[in-house]
A = this chain, B = another copy of it.
Amino acid sequence: MMNKAYTEAQMKINEYLQSYFIHYENKYEKKFNEIINYSLMNGGKRLRPVLFYKTVEILKGDVEKNLDLACSIEMIHTYSLIHDDLPAMDDDDYRRGKLSSHKVYGEAMAILSGDALLNKAYEILFNKIFEHSDDHDLIKACRLIADFAGNHGMIGGQVVDIETEYSDISNDDLHYIIENKTAKLIIASIVSAGHVCHMSDEYIELLKKAAYHIGYSFQLIDDYLDVVGDSKIIGKSTGKDNALGKNTYVKYNGIEKTKKDAYEHLENAKNYLFLIKGYEWKFFIDLIEYLKNREK
């Protein structure tokens, strides 16, 4: 996966993520920590927190001081995967090459561990605000994360994704799913980093546009990898979207156009980043090149 800069950030995040669910009062809390950590420490790519981390670094912010925000974003992402995999949702037995949470611990514990991760993400953010209550930009960052994870963001996208299975939808609805289900949390990851680094409103807008195109392209790439990818390399079942009657970008546009459009979104992202002057965007340029070449 990607380059050394990515892997270093990923390792740092993994180390920090490990420190949250370790305290317990009794054997049940101990076991519940295990259940949560099974999903949280399951070898994920950490794309969202890495994007947050590297954006803070590029904007010359304090990376160490903000690692907890990176972790809270990953917890939101992980909860959404646990709930998505449930039999009532996408009914997926595997996640990242391992049995999904409900297959190992049962549905009740999978639901509750998702709930606990979502709740913990916000506990972390409130603690952060409590420690730095004079930092108004930090509050902006937290608001954005919660807003983009909610019913007009990630959850909203998931709702339409599920509700439209096995039926055809309009282009607007397809766009709504991709923007909300996938792009919003990626936008939140990058733009909240801009907030904690006290970026100007003008630059925040540019960062938001760049992040939107990265997030959008990410879903398009996911869609065509589900068709052409190798499940061993991707670490989850392939051909699943079609079997579930999912409305993917590929379904309406074919593989070639999906690839082409993903490429174009990535180019757009690059162009917006270049408008944010005075920073070294190399990490993002490398990521964009990597994503362009990610055929499987």
Give A residues with C-beta under 8 Å from B: 21, 23, 25-26, 28-29, 31-32, 36, 79, 83, 86, 88-89, 106-109, 111-112, 114-116, 118-120, 122-123, 125-127, 129-130, 133-134, 136, 139-140, 142-143, 146-147, 149-152, 155-156, 158-160, 162-164, 172-173, 176
Q: Are B155 and A116 in contact (CB under 8 A)?
A: yes
With A86-B111, A126-B142, A133-B139 in contact, is A119–B28 under 8 Å at CB? no
With A139-B133, A143-B127 in contact, is A112–B159 under 8 Å at CB? yes
The CA of A183 and the CA of B40, in the complex, are separated in Å by: 28
The number of times this chain is found in the oligomer is 2
> Which of B79, B115, B150 touches A120 (beta carbons < 8 Å)?
B150
The 5 closest A-B pairs by CB, nearest first: A88-B107, A116-B151, A119-B150, A122-B122, A126-B143
A/B interface sample: 13 pairs, CB < 8 A: A26-B176, A28-B176, A83-B111, A83-B115, A86-B107, A86-B108, A88-B108, A109-B162, A111-B111, A112-B155, A116-B151, A126-B147, A133-B136
Q: Are B160 and A28 in contact (CB under 8 A)?
A: yes
Q: Are B150 and A116 in contact (CB under 8 A)?
A: yes
Q: Are A173 and B28 in contact (CB under 8 A)?
A: yes
**A49: min CB distance to chain B, Å:** 19
> Which of B89, B119, B172 touches A149 (beta carbons < 8 Å)?
B119
Q: Are B176 and A115 in contact (CB under 8 A)?
A: no
Inter-chain contacts of A130 with B (CB < 8 A):
136, 139-140, 143
With A116-B150, A116-B151, A129-B139 in contact, is A172–B123 under 8 Å at CB? no
Could you say which of A115, A125, A162, A172 has the most chain B C-beta atoms within 10 Å of its C-beta? A115
With A26-B176, A125-B126 in contact, is A159–B32 under 8 Å at CB? yes
Residue of B nearest to A165 (CB): B108
Could you say which of A25, A111, A142 has the most chain B C-beta atoms within 10 Å of its C-beta? A111
The CA of A116 and the CA of B108, in the complex, are separated in Å by: 18
Inter-chain contacts of A158 with B (CB < 8 A):
112
Residue of B nearest to A153 (CB): B119
The CA of A83 and the CA of B111, in the complex, are separated in Å by: 8
Q: Are A111 and B88 in contact (CB under 8 A)?
A: yes
With A115-B118, A159-B109 in contact, is A151–B29 under 8 Å at CB? yes
Q: Are A106 and B88 in contact (CB under 8 A)?
A: yes
Inter-chain contacts of A163 with B (CB < 8 A):
28, 31, 109
The CA of A27 and the CA of B142, in the complex, are separated in Å by: 29
